[in-house]
Structure 1
């Protein structure tokens, strides 16, 4: 097979083309090209240049076990050379000697790394894998706290007469270090909080995993803008390494602004979040959120108290007020609530037990105005994982909530309500996929007394695009929306970057709200553009929706992360 390589000589600004004939394709040929690219090409002295080409090709091929190739450079003209290559036999590995000696004579910490590379007898020599194995062993040593790790012997012995090579890689791990002094910040407010979260203590065996866990726990508290827990290896003594904890407090008050626009009657939307991470020396925090649109206004306030730890185990209290005039729904609702959040060690899922008192005045479609009082205990399981900052490229979020109400415990009706939703974002190179699912069900014999805020509706930029917000629902005899017992929504979106700050997207959504288990879904499909603004992604979608009544077209504009 023939391949060509072009480059410009730095010395003479001359473009030279190399034609490679006979070189093994893949990493070997790629390595030859890399070696040839680094050469300076004179305008004369072609014999010397030919020798340089031979030497470069030989060095490139030795990396992959070809020690006796036949290299024949041929000048075609000043700016074009042909290199004929006969690879010859490939050197094979003899039985390697790879060993890491530890003080306790146990190699289990390093055995898995050695097995992963599988450098066994009979395989072709690959010096790239040899170097990667050395790096992997050193990395494992640092990860586990073997800071004195060193190679006592590292070489490849090549026997050309036998066409074999033996890898000799011997290392001494030295002692496994333990945690020494933990240097905390001189901050009395933060000191107690940090101490309650730390998963490692002086005298514990050093572990990068525990160090990373400590960093993550401190970040998740929401108290700190910057967190860094690191070992001071230069000051390690007697097989003990000190740790340094550095934190920077968040500002006293933190704000987050979001919004969106829809082409339907909902109009512009505005959302403002405020949070004060430190209310007092006990680590209490509080926050509020305001949402406002033409048809809906919300106010929510919460106060949080850390219990076992501020990141994953705390109690919170909420107050909320909501007004909604949307389609055939009119409601006015007050809410008081208490929640207990906890997450077991090494668990991904957050648990939230809650008790919520709701008083709602509502009218739905042609139903008369009602006043509903409900005391709702319940449980939520949730998980949120992500990476990539504002423009995340990987993540998922899942939530499952169960709510109950009983007419003999300060509630007007008996009710069981279950909701579940899941959102996933995954990337393959530059290709990005987002898919989501949402389902819900209400079990009650008194559905006409279920408040409007607890009934199911669909439609809008966070549901089925191409339809107005909350416009998908069962209807009464006059065609007015009544809300439904059952909800099912699914969506998939694909996007690809067209510039550094813009992505093009296509999507398909499907969803139904009904009073029976199965119903024909409404379908929304369309195109979109995502602008990676300095404050986060701004998403613009043009959707066309179709159900059994009509076909609709809607423009949706939202701001914020995909999950």
Structure 2
């Protein structure tokens, strides 16, 4: 009896298991194409769809055909067009299925784009003519142009931001678009509920156990009784962080008098006043790089910093002590003093230096900065080849050279975002002079002009360019510029394809002499690959001139190649392969050079 019951259960279980049906095999998409698209590029329409397109690679698996998903994709294509003002768009598809394969044709009837005819701002409460006039300046839509959702939404965000920065932190902006299907026009209307006009109330500082309140309040871009501004809160937060004294900065806001008054608590968490930074890296030219820095913040109970730094690499060793005073004379200025010893490999010799510098730096405008400094150096070139000593006269090996004079630099820098692609430019002019009038044993005038620019190009790429010109001329009783002050070129940060400081005039024995004039230029096309990786195609040019500037394309040195960049949590990783060449001479690929860098350059 029990045995019969067991057999019966087994039969029931197996009967419940569904058997495969040949007719239920999935249909695969063999071909899918989009027709009638002219307002967009085909990839934009494809990216709006969830249905996958078949790969052109024959052996790659075809995607499944899901007709319900494809019907919804027609709506997604329609929404894409409507976001650009094509409100009468129609998207449909036809599919034929043969032997388990689907052949799909998507047809888009775009229609005509709608034109923005009227723009209006309406107030939920009392009208404010002055506010309305200023708000219209924030709208990026213009009448007579094709309507698009992106500038419509961006205008809405700008309206709210303007209100929040001018006393209306509660302001909310809604909007609607009225489309005339017959005339193909669109009316844009924004509705503003601005709320009460708000002012800053009492400002309380909290969390500062060591740092005096008198150093915190001047960083605040708002004051008691001023109109509330969200932008000024952000500006104040950045200013406090820039002091380096705080780990966190928070603004706690409350409301009084029905929201018309906003008291603000500035709550800070102080950072450690003694900080140690360490770093390491590697480069083909400088080999192992090591860096250690000790900072004493809030030195002598003020906005002062004492710094001790030590750096080492295969081409340089440096140790220095620096003192920095913020807000020297005015809030735009910083005063610093540095004393250091340095040993650096330059071409075929080594220069040993003791240097002191006093500098004042000023941020004249957000995009313009300048510094001026007094410099005092004692230099001793060692290991200079006898032939170089003879050629340059002044560069006696083992001789001490005293430099005393002034240096100044002006830098103009801009940076901006264009569709999430960074662009900008930097121009700098550096001037340096040493004179017997200041007790120097070496008289010269030196100048370096450098410009860099980077702009978005095509397909998400960025085009970067740079040019650098330098000169140094002896003056008074100095007959020749010593080798340690002369220009050299070549290497991973100069002209790739050549060794470190390999470019420059040479004597009859092949020893590098350096030059009084320098010219470098470069062009680089940067292509994003995936995640944090990128590819770079580049060409560099440069030359060094012994005693006078005599540029010629035929005599300049060139290098071209390809590089890979990858940003890691520990620092950038890069590798370049470059081939040197000369004007009018075919490339010799066997002369390639490889440059590898890991970590930051200190």
Same fold (TM over 0.5): yes
SS at match of 2:299: coil
For the structure 1 residues 472 and 500, does the alpha-carbon distance in structure 2 shift closer, same or farther, using more than 3 Å as the test? same
Query: In the aligned structure 2, how far is the partner of 1:455 from the partner of 1:524?
Result: 22
1:319-375 CA distance string (max 9 Å, x none): 11122344333322111111112223x442222121111111225522423221121
State the TM-score, normalized to the length of structure 1: 0.76
5 Å-filtered alignment, 1:330-479, equals 330-344=350-364, 346-362=365-381, 364=384, 365-366=388-389, 367-369=395-397, 370-382=399-411, 397-427=426-456, 430-445=460-475, 450-479=481-510
Equivalent in the alignment of 1:516: 548
The answer on 1:530 being equivalent to 2:565 is yes
> SS state of the match for residue 438, structure 2?
coil
Report if aligned partners of 1:211, 1:229 keep a CA contact under 8 Å in 2. Answer: no
Structure 1 residue ranges without an equivalent (≥5) = 1-11, 44-48
Quote the residue 1:3 is aligned against.
none
Taking the aligned partners of 1:33 and 1:526, their CA distance within structure 2 comes to 34
1:278-303 deviation digits (Å, cap 9, x = unpaired): 43421321223333334432222211
User: Shift of the alpha carbon at 1:157?
Assistant: 5.8
- Superposition deviation, residue 209 in structure 1: 4.0
Pairs within 5 Å for 1:65-464 = 97-99=120-122, 103=128, 105-114=130-139, 116-119=140-143, 133-150=155-172, 167-190=188-211, 191-226=213-248, 228=249, 230=251, 232=253, 238-251=259-272, 252-262=274-284, 267-308=287-328, 312-344=332-364, 346-362=365-381, 364=384, 365-366=388-389, 367-369=395-397, 370-382=399-411, 397-427=426-456, 430-445=460-475, 450-464=481-495
Do 2:164 and 2:228's aligned partners in 1 also have CA atoms closer than 8 Å? no
| Matches of 2:91 and 2:525, distance apart in 1 | 49
Matched residue of 1:404: which SS?
strand
Residues 64 and 125 of structure 1 are in contact (CA less than 8 Å); yes or no, is this contact kept in structure 2? yes
Structure 2: how far apart are the matches of 1:94 and 1:327? 69
- Alignment-derived partner of residue 595 in structure 2: 556
CA distance in 2 between partners of 1:342 and 1:539 (Å): 34
Report SS of the residue matched to 1:146: coil
Q: Distance in 1 between matches of 2:538 and 2:74?
A: 55
State the aligned residue count. 533
Distance in structure 1 (CA, Å) of the matches to 2:511 and 2:73: 82
Structure 2 residue aligned with 1:504: 535
Q: Work out the CA distance in 1 between the residues paired with 2:361 and 2:89.
A: 68
Q: Does the 8 Å CA contact 1:329/1:362 hold for their aligned counterparts?
A: yes
CA distance in 2, matches of 1:499, 1:85: 32
Structure 2 length normalisation: TM-score? 0.72
In 2: Cα distance, 1:480 partner to 1:67 partner? 74
Higher mean C-alpha displacement, 172-181 vs 369-378: 172-181
